[in-house]
Amino acid sequence: MSIGEFELIQRFFNRPPLRFDIVEGIGDDCALLRPQSGKCLAMTMDTLVEGVHFLRGTNPESLGHKSLAVNLSDLAAMGATPTWVTLALTVPESDENWLAAFANGFRALADYYGVELVGGDTTRGPLSITVQAMGVVDEVGALRRSGARWGDGIYLTGDLGLAGLGLEILLGKTARQSPEALAKLERPHPRVNAGMSLAGFANSCIDVSDGLAADLCHILNASGVGATLDWIALPLPSVVRQHIEADGDAWMPLRAGDDYELCFTVSREREDELPGRMAEFGCSCVRIGSIEQQMGLRLKKDGAIYDLAALGYRHFS
Amino acid sequence: MSIGEFELIQRFFNRPPLRFDIVEGIGDDCALLRPQSGKCLAMTMDTLVEGVHFLRGTNPESLGHKSLAVNLSDLAAMGATPTWVTLALTVPESDENWLAAFANGFRALADYYGVELVGGDTTRGPLSITVQAMGVVDEVGALRRSGARWGDGIYLTGDLGLAGLGLEILLGKTARQSPEALAKLERPHPRVNAGMSLAGFANSCIDVSDGLAADLCHILNASGVGATLDWIALPLPSVVRQHIEADGDAWMPLRAGDDYELCFTVSREREDELPGRMAEFGCSCVRIGSIEQQMGLRLKKDGAIYDLAALGYRHFS
């Protein structure tokens, strides 16, 4: 069953805005928004393409959730409080059930964080979703990649490797079963509250979307420092440990993307305050290594030191 | 020749920001921007998909220009001054020549208006371009679709129908030759300065992207009014007149999209001021009809009245 573009927007995405800072939401040539005075506007944009970022036939509700989640995760990595989002949705046909499910997944996460969809575009074409998320943050408190300092502790929220395992399951590369791994891959939960509480506290931060090794390298390169990670400290869930022991690919959790945890660094003298800050949101967080003067990314494992700089996943590579 | 995603961004799109209101541009999890205090932020997002919005093999420099132009046109229709843009570029492969040409077209237009690219995403997939453009405008002066009032004059900048003719030429539907029609289709010039000068002056405004009839109907519906257009007043270039006289499809200029002119309405008592305002930017502008109490969109032509409400082009229709 096919419906028109305008009706589609109206039916699934339009509603009276809930936020006071929206003068005009969906429905005119532009959205009109009142930015918070004295604050910085943080802005990020991510695209998910069928066959590249997700498999054909992916549950549309999960896709609605994930397309917003990956963007909120970038705001979290900056320490920003999310406010507004826009959505460019390209679909091969206007399938009402698919659209309703997608909108549900998207809106449920948006509502959870009080983020409002203020505009976008719907077009016909190969399935692809681009979301821009915006938020506010104090200019001085914003978490940059470039702020890591020699001696900082390196921390990671949540756990590592579940999304990577989930992808291997989806691709049929392993016979292992793990609903939690699939859930982590398809419905990652962005660390929005953790990110907000780290603003003005952590020295640097990034979200783990391309794999811990690759993403941490962005911090190291931007900051002009190096690091050594401690294998024993990595928060690998038991199903991930079992999988890499059976499979032999120990580097998977460091290389695999899509975990959407925050990796951040904290000055030695402030590390004591961290557990209290994170516990407030029920967000677990462990120290996985430390920032060093010597450039490069190393891993300490079973008494040996491995060079990890080359493990990052890249598009077009 | 293939290059990596990060190198691609670095090579073609990254440079030190020129605007003072950019704290952090491309290169971190988010861009960080300083919004102008006391002003509204206007925001719009448009996607161009290969095979839907442009033909396969379209000149990449034109595509770079157009993908930004259609968004600046939406800002113009709101009366906003453009400030920042983001770009989500999905390309099937990283062809250096294609990317360099695309970036040239995009940046030339951005530089013309002092707009800065502050972020985005590059991904692999079917060719598709999503741009979000942002700008500033006074809340009270912003041009809404809903502000048209009974008695307003209806105006159109520039000319009408060239882009529609250009599309017919590209599709091989006519043997007529017209470089100006192709140029209008492929490299539309957004009416940014005209839009800015109309802020706080026009009662309503929209840009003509889906066809004059369809777009004017958005104003009429949002404002709860009707209108009659005067055929003789429509600014049809001679090549368009010749084409529709030979071809017989008189409605083409009203139905065809992609002209990216501004259609706006002005209170009767302020109409005298208009020519002076528009002449300042060398922007031609003609009165094509008037707003009436009776709902619906009508056209006066050769002594007859035609109902135009049903002529709009729609996706998924």
Q: Looking at residue A36, what DSSP letter applies?
A: P
Q: How far is residue B298 CA from its own chain's centroid?
A: 24
Considering the domain boundaries, does residue A212 fall inside one?
A: yes
Is A205's CB within 8 Å of B29's CB?
yes
Q: Each residue's pLDDT tens digit in chain B (317 positions)?
A: 345 555 666 677 777 777 888 988 888 889 999 998 889 999 999 999 999 999 999 999 999 999 999 999 999 999 999 999 999 999 998 788 999 999 999 999 999 999 999 998 888 999 999 999 999 999 999 999 999 999 999 999 999 999 999 999 999 999 999 999 999 999 999 999 999 999 999 999 999 998 999 999 999 999 999 999 999 999 999 999 999 999 878 889 999 889 999 999 999 999 999 998 888 878 899 999 999 999 999 999 999 999 886 654 444 33
CATH of the domain at B186: 3.90.650.10
Give the Cα separation of B308 and B317 in Å (integer). Answer: 17
Is A8's CB within 8 Å of B316's CB?
yes
* B171 to chain A, closest Cα gap in Å: 19
Closest Cβ–Cβ partner in A33, A222, A315 for B124: A315
Please check whether residues A132 and A169 belong to one and the same domain.
Answer: no
Give the Cα separation of A239 and A233 in Å (integer). Answer: 16
Closest Cα in chain B to A93: B316
The full DSSP string for A109-164 is HHHHTT-EEEEEEEEESSSEEEEEEEEEE-TTT---GGG--TTPEEEEES-SSHHH
Considering the domain boundaries, does residue B299 fall inside one?
A: yes
Considering B137, B168, B198, which residue would you say is the last residue of a domain?
B137
* CA nearest to B81, candidates B135, B19, B138: B135
Please check whether residues B224 and B149 belong to one and the same domain.
Answer: yes
Q: How far is residue B197 CA from its own chain's centroid?
A: 16
Structure confidence at residue A232 (pLDDT): 96
Q: Which residues of chain B make contact with A135, given a CB cutoff of 8 A?
A: 30
In terms of C-beta density within 10 A (0-12 exposed, 13-18 middle, 19 or more buried), how is residue A180 classed?
A: middle
State the residue for tokens 């017209």: B178
What mean pLDDT is reported for chain A? 91
Closest Cβ–Cβ partner in A3, A52, A75 for B124: A52
Q: Which residues of chain A make contact with B93, given a CB cutoff of 8 A?
A: 316
Closest Cβ–Cβ partner in A5, A31, A132 for B86: A132
State the residue for tokens 């729609």: B314
Closest Cβ–Cβ partner in B5, B33, B49 for A315: B5
Prediction pTM value:
0.91
Q: How many CB pairs under 8 A join A and B?
A: 223
In terms of C-beta density within 10 A (0-12 exposed, 13-18 middle, 19 or more buried), how is residue A174 classed?
A: middle
Is A135's CB within 8 Å of B30's CB?
yes
Give the Cα separation of A213 and B58 in Å (integer). Answer: 39
Which of the pair, A77 or B28, is modelled with greater confidence? A77
Is A315's CB within 8 Å of B32's CB?
no
Residue-wise pLDDT for A127-141, tens only, equals: 999 999 999 999 999
Is B316's CB within 8 Å of A5's CB?
yes
In terms of C-beta density within 10 A (0-12 exposed, 13-18 middle, 19 or more buried), how is residue B54 classed?
A: buried
Residue-wise pLDDT for A5-51, tens only, equals: 556 666 777 777 778 889 888 888 899 999 988 899 999 999 999 99
Structure confidence at residue B12 (pLDDT): 76
Of the residues B29, B121, B123, the best mutation for testing chain A's interface (the one with the most A CB atoms within 10 Å of its CB) is B29
Structure confidence at residue A1 (pLDDT): 35
CATH of the domain at B124: 3.30.1330.10
* Domain coverage including residue A78: 5-137
What are phi and psi for residue A90, nearest 5 degrees?
Answer: -110, 120
* B302 to chain A, closest Cα gap in Å: 33
Residue-wise pLDDT for A177-229, tens only, equals: 999 999 999 999 999 999 999 999 999 999 999 899 999 999 999 999 999 99
Residue-wise pLDDT for A218-255, tens only, equals: 999 999 999 999 999 999 999 999 999 998 788 899 99
Spatial contact of B90 and A129, defined as CB atoms under 8 Å apart: no
Give the Cα separation of B222 and A6 in Å (integer). Answer: 13
Considering the domain boundaries, does residue A313 fall inside one?
A: no
Of the residues A2, A29, A39, the best mutation for testing chain B's interface (the one with the most B CB atoms within 10 Å of its CB) is A29
Spatial contact of A71 and A105, defined as CB atoms under 8 Å apart: no
> Could you give the number of structural domains in chain A?
2
Please check whether residues B149 and B297 belong to one and the same domain.
Answer: yes
* B247 to chain A, closest Cα gap in Å: 29
Q: A312 pLDDT exceeds 70?
A: no
Closest Cα in chain A to B315: A5
Please check whether residues A82 and A112 belong to one and the same domain.
Answer: yes
- Number of Cβ within 10 Å of residue A152's Cβ equals 26
Of the residues B130, B146, B216, B314, the best mutation for testing chain A's interface (the one with the most A CB atoms within 10 Å of its CB) is B130
Considering B118, B137, B156, which residue would you say is the last residue of a domain?
B137
Kindly state the average pLDDT of the residues A278-286. Answer: 86
* A26 to chain B, closest Cα gap in Å: 10
* CA nearest to A65, candidates A136, A161, A129: A129
Please check whether residues A69 and A186 belong to one and the same domain.
Answer: no
Give the Cα separation of B289 and B230 in Å (integer). Answer: 5
Considering the domain boundaries, does residue B247 fall inside one?
A: yes
Closest Cα in chain B to A120: B45
Structure confidence at residue A5 (pLDDT): 59
Considering B89, B115, B137, which residue would you say is the last residue of a domain?
B137
Task: Give CA angle at A87 (A86, A91), nearest 5°.
Answer: 170
Q: Which two tokens stand for residue A199?
A: 């603003």
The pLDDT confidence band at residue A311, using thresholds 50, 70 and 90, is low
Please check whether residues A159 and A296 belong to one and the same domain.
Answer: yes
Q: Which residues of chain A make contact with B74, given a CB cutoff of 8 A?
A: 29-30
* CA nearest to B122, candidates B92, B83, B85, B82: B92
Considering the domain boundaries, does residue A34 fall inside one?
A: yes
Strands B226-230 and B296-301: parallel
ipTM over 0.90: no
- The fraction of chain A above a pLDDT of 70, given in percent, is 94
The pLDDT confidence band at residue A310, using thresholds 50, 70 and 90, is low
Closest Cα in chain A to B94: A316
Exposure string of A130-150, with b = 16+ CB inside 10 Å and e = fewer, is bbbbbbbbeeebbbbbbbbee
Give the Cα separation of B13 and B26 in Å (integer). Answer: 8
Please check whether residues B108 and B153 belong to one and the same domain.
Answer: no
* B236 to chain A, closest Cα gap in Å: 25
Please check whether residues B69 and B112 belong to one and the same domain.
Answer: yes
* CA nearest to A195, candidates A272, A82, A47, A115: A82
Structure confidence at residue B6 (pLDDT): 55
Is A44's CB within 8 Å of B119's CB?
yes
Considering the domain boundaries, does residue B313 fall inside one?
A: no
Looking at the DSSP bridge assignments, the partners of residue B155 are B264, B287
Considering the domain boundaries, does residue B245 fall inside one?
A: yes
Spatial contact of B163 and B258, defined as CB atoms under 8 Å apart: yes
Please check whether residues B178 and B73 belong to one and the same domain.
Answer: no
Please check whether residues B95 and B44 belong to one and the same domain.
Answer: yes
Of the residues A32, A85, A130, A314, the best mutation for testing chain B's interface (the one with the most B CB atoms within 10 Å of its CB) is A130
Spatial contact of A58 and A167, defined as CB atoms under 8 Å apart: no
CA distances from A216 to A55, A164, A205, A208, B317 (A): 27, 17, 9, 8, 47
CA distances from B34 to A108, A245, B21, B24, B71 (A): 30, 49, 5, 10, 21
Please check whether residues A103 and A190 belong to one and the same domain.
Answer: no
- Number of Cβ within 10 Å of residue A160's Cβ equals 25
Q: Which residues of chain B make contact with A314, given a CB cutoff of 8 A?
A: 4-6
Give the Cα separation of A154 and A263 in Å (integer). Answer: 7
* CA nearest to B147, candidates A244, A41, A29, A284: A29
Considering the domain boundaries, does residue B95 fall inside one?
A: yes
Q: Which residues of chain A make contact with B32, given a CB cutoff of 8 A?
A: 40-43, 78, 137, 139, 142
Please check whether residues A114 and A255 belong to one and the same domain.
Answer: no
* A303 to chain B, closest Cα gap in Å: 34
Q: Which two tokens stand for residue B159?
A: 């000319």
